[in-house]
Chain A
Amino acid sequence: MSQHHADHLVQAVNVTKSFGPNKVLEGIDLDVDAGEVVCLLGPSGSGKTTFLRLINQLETLTGGRIWVGGELVGFEERNGKLHTRTDADVARQRSRIGMVFQRFNLFPHMTALENVTEAPVHVKGVSRRVARKQALELLDLVGLGDRARFYPSQLSGGQQQRVAIARALAMKPELMLFDEPTSALDPELVGEVLAVMRDLAAEGTTMIVVTHEMAFAREVADRVVFMDQGGVVEQGAPDAVLLNPREERTRTFLRRVKQEAESEAQHDIELATLLKSFES
C-alpha cells in the first residue's frame, strides 16, 4: 500500500476537511515531487491555507490521506486499521517540514538568532555552538547577518518574515510550506521576501506556496494549482494556467485579479497626474 507513495514527496489523495457542518475541502488530489515549486492560487475561502495546514497537521484530516516522504501523515496503518500517531511522532513528522506563516509568528521573547537556533538545539539536540554557526549562516543567506541580536519588535515586517524563513530552514526540512508569506507586509517590503524565496527555489528546495502574487507564481513556480470552493479546478505549467486557463472559474478569478491590479495602477497614475498638476 505505502510503496508507490514514495514516488512523490507529497501525495494527497481525496483529502476532505470539515469544520463542523462546514465543508472546507472536498476531495483534493495533489502530488508534489522533490525539488518542485508549487503555487496554490485561488480566491480567499477556497481552502488553500487549510490544505497547507493539513500537510503540517495544524489541522486534522476529516477524510482522505496525505503522505509526505512515503509516510502517512498523522496516522499509522497497522493490520488494515488506522491508528492516530502519538504526540511525539506527530512532532517528529512536523520537524521534517518547514512552515512560514502569514503573520510571521516569530518568538517575540527571543532574538533573531535565538529564534533560529531554538528548534535545532531544543528539538534536534544540536549543540549550541554548531546551531549558532548554522543560524548565522542562514541569517546571512536571508540578508540579515547584521540583525542577529535584534528582537522581532526591532525588525520590519519584511525582516521578520525573512528571519521566520531562516528559522524554518534551520531544521533542514525536506519540504517548505509558505502560507501567504507576503500578505501581511507593506507593499514596499514584499520584494525582499520574494527574493529570498526565489533563491530557495533556484537551489532546488521543495516548496508549496499559497500566494496572491501572480507575477511570482508565473516566474518561480514549476506548477500552479488553481483552487476554488474546496477543490482543485485546474493545474499545470504557470503560463498554461495563468495565460490560457481551460476553466471558466479560473478565467473569472484571473480577470478579477487583473482588474484589481489595473484599477490600482489606474489609481497610481491618477495620483501621479494629480501630484504633477500641483508641481506646475
Chain B
Amino acid sequence: MASNDERPGLIDAVPVRHYGRWAAVAAIVVLLLMLFNMLIFNPVFNWPFVLEVMNQAPVIEGLLKGTLLVTALTMIVGVLGGVLLAVMRLSDNPVLSWVSWAYTWFFRSIPRIVLLTIMGAGMGLIFRDGLSLGVPFDWKIIEWLGLSGDWRFLTLDANTLFSGFAGAVIGLGASEAAYMAEIARAGILSVDKGQTEAAQALGMSRAKAMRRVVLPQAMRVIVPPTGNETVAMMKDTSLLIALPLTAELFYQVGAIGSRTYQILPSYLAAVVYYLLITSVLMVGQSYLERHFGRGFGATVTSDKAIAEPGLMAGSAH
C-alpha cells in the first residue's frame, strides 16, 4: 500500500454495514408482495366493477360538482375570508379584532357534519320569510310612520339558499375561513416588522403595504398548510349528505353499492378518485410553494439561475 512519503489520494473505504436496515427492507418487500397479492387476486375487490363505477355518469357528475367544484369554491371563500379575518384580528380596532376572534371561536368549535346538518334542517325554520336585502327593521319604521308595504329589494328563500349546492359552499366556506384565519394570521406575523416600515416609509398606505409587501411574503408561510386544508376540504365534501347534497362522489358510489350489493368495489371507486385528486393537488401545491418562495433561496440556488436571472424576473408581475 501507500508508503509513508506518498501523499494520501482518493478515499476508498469499506462502508458500515446496516444489517438492521437490510432486515427492514426485506420485511417491507414481503409485506408489499402480500398486499399486492391480496389486491390483485382477492375476488372481493372486483376491479373491473370498480372501473365501471368510476365511469358512471352520476358518479362523475358528483365528483365534478359536489366534490371538486365545492372544494374549489369553499377554498376560495375560505382563503379570502381567512385573510380578511386575520387582518381584522391584527387590526388596532378592538371591535374588529373581537368580531374576528368570536367568529373563529364559533366556527372552530362546531364539527362540520353538525354545522351542515343544522344548516340544512334549521335555516329554513329560522328564516321562515326568507332572507331579504333592504332597510333593517323596516316593518318597525313603517309602523311608526303609519305607512304600509315593505322596503325590501331582494328576497331569497332560505331553504334553497342554505341546503343544496349554495349551502355547501356557504357552510364549508364559513367553517374553512375560521381555520384559514389562524393560518393567515401566523403568516402575516411571520413577516418582519421592518418590511411594513420600509413600505410605509416609501409612501405606501397601510392597506397597500399589506397587499404589495406583507401578504406576498406571508404566502410563503400560508401556502403549505393551505395545501393541507384543501386536501382536508376535498375529503370533507363526503359530509355533504348531512345538508343534504347528493350530487357528490361518496354518496353516489354508496348509492350504486347498495343498489348492486357490490358495496366494497363501489367505495373503492371513491378511494381511487380521492387518491388521484390528492396527487394532483400535491403537484399544484409544490408549484405554488416554488412561486411564493422566490427570493428566499427556494427557487434560485443554482449558478445557472443566477447566470440567467432574466428567466425569473418575468414571473414577478
Contacts and interface: CB of A to CB of B under 8 A. Distances in A.
B212 to A, nearest CB: 6
Interface stretch (B37-45, B77-85, B253-261, B295-303): B295-303
Interface in B270-317: 292, 294-297, 300, 306, 309-310, 312-313, 316-317
B194 A151 contact: no
B146 interface: no
B201 interface: yes
B96 interface: no
B198 interface: yes
| Most chain A Cβ neighbours within 10 Å, of B201, B312, B313 | B201
B313 A149 contact: yes
Given A151-B300, A154-B306, A107 B313 contact: no
A110 B206 contact: no
B217 interface: yes
A119 B296 contact: no
Given A109-B216, A109-B294, A95 B202 contact: yes
A103 B192 CA distance: 11
A153 B300 CA distance: 10
Contact of A118 (B192, B201, B212, B292): B212
Contacts of B129: none
Interface string A34-61: 0000000000000000000000101000
Contacts of A58: 197, 200-201
B24 to A, nearest CB: 40
Interface stretch (A4-12, A17-25, A85-93): A85-93
A72 interface: no
A249 interface: no
A124 B201 CA distance: 13
A92 B206 CA distance: 12
A257 B152 CA distance: 76
A99 B205 contact: no
A225 to B, nearest CB: 22
Given A87-B206, A109-B216, A110-B316, A153 B296 contact: yes
Nearest to B212: A122
A95 B216 CA distance: 22
A167 B317 CA distance: 18
Contacts of A98: 201
Contact of B202 (A94, A109, A110): A94
Contacts of B204: 91, 119, 122-123
Contacts of A111: 295, 309, 312-313, 316
A164 B192 CA distance: 16
A151 B201 contact: no
Interface residues of B, number: 32
Contacts of A103: 194
Given A109-B217, A151-B294, A94 B200 contact: yes
A234 B47 CA distance: 89
A97 interface: yes
A113 interface: yes
B128 interface: no
A256 B296 CA distance: 40
A217 interface: no
Interface in A149-174: 149-154, 164, 167-168, 171
B306 A150 contact: yes
B194 A91 contact: no
B200 A105 contact: no
A101 interface: yes
| Most chain B Cβ neighbours within 10 Å, of A98, A114, A122 | A122
Given A91-B205, A122-B204, A122-B212, A107 B306 contact: no
Contacts of B213: 107
Given A122-B208, A150-B309, 9 more contacts: A56-B201, A58-B201, A94-B202, A96-B203, A107-B199, A119-B202, A122-B204, A149-B313, A152-B295
Interface of B: 192, 194-195, 197-206, 208, 212-213, 216-217, 220, 292, 294-297, 300, 306, 309-310, 312-313, 316-317
